[in-house]
Amino acid sequence: MGNFARKIIDAVQNSMLGSLLVRLLWPCGWLVWTVFDSLAPDVFDAAVVGSFLILLACGLFLIWLLGAVANRRPRSGRVLEGLQDPPDNGFAAWAELPAGGLRPPPLMRWLVTALGESPGHRRSWIGLITVLVALALAVSLAVAGSSFWQGVHPALGDPSTRLFLALACTGILAAFWIRDWASDQRKQLELPSANSA
């Protein structure tokens, strides 16, 4: 059973979609919720939010359960490996890479290589500043009142205009988070263990 759970974890890790979902879910989900709750509160009613939270809790429990079952699998290999402690909890099992490194589908490998920065490339300050400005602008468009934004520009007094601009800022943030995810995955692919598979 533990080996089967580990195979499921390896398949999700090799697809690379699980890490992308985790990377986007919290920051984008929080920001989209803040924007819609402030500028279009009728879009998400209590039933939709409650259903999403229940689904999220069930998903987190399933992720933890798979990891906990995978931690109980018999360890093969060197004698000392059997003396090593398994990961602390079910979530920690997901940080353990598949044996032989990641083996994504060719399309995903191409996408990660095309979008991600090369491992030796230094991160740009321009990217960090763009992320901070887009985040601050999206939050302020949602939180500051219509009277404040109408003083900046008459068109910004309309909540639908501010909703569009805040979602555009969220899209910019999502693009940077996707690039960051692709850069991290590219580093994982270029590890020596991944190339020896």
DSSP 20: H
In the predicted structure, residue 197 carries a pLDDT above the cut 70:
no
Please state whether the predicted TM-score (pTM) of the whole model is above 0.85. Answer: no
Q: Residue 136: which pLDDT band, with cuts at 50, 70 and 90?
A: very high
Average pLDDT on 26-31 reads 82
Q: What is the pLDDT of residues 90-123, one digit of tens each?
A: 888 888 888 888 889 999 999 998 998 887 777 7
Q: What is the pLDDT of residues 50-71, one digit of tens each?
A: 888 899 899 989 999 998 888 8
Q: What is the pLDDT of residues 71-98, one digit of tens each?
A: 877 655 544 444 455 556 788 888 888 8
Joined tokens for residue 32: 């989209």
CB within 8 A of 97, min separation 6: which ones? 13, 188, 193
Joined tokens for residue 142: 């949602």
Could you give the dihedral angle defined by the CA atoms of residues 139, 50, 23 and 106, in that order, rounded to the nearest 10 degrees? Answer: -130
Query: What pLDDT is recorded for position 88?
Result: 65
Average pLDDT, the chain: 83
In the predicted structure, residue 195 carries a pLDDT above the cut 80:
no
Average pLDDT on 155-165 reads 90
In the predicted structure, residue 43 carries a pLDDT above the cut 90:
no
Q: What is the CA 37 to chain-centroid distance, rounded? A: 22
Query: What pLDDT is recorded for position 74?
Result: 67
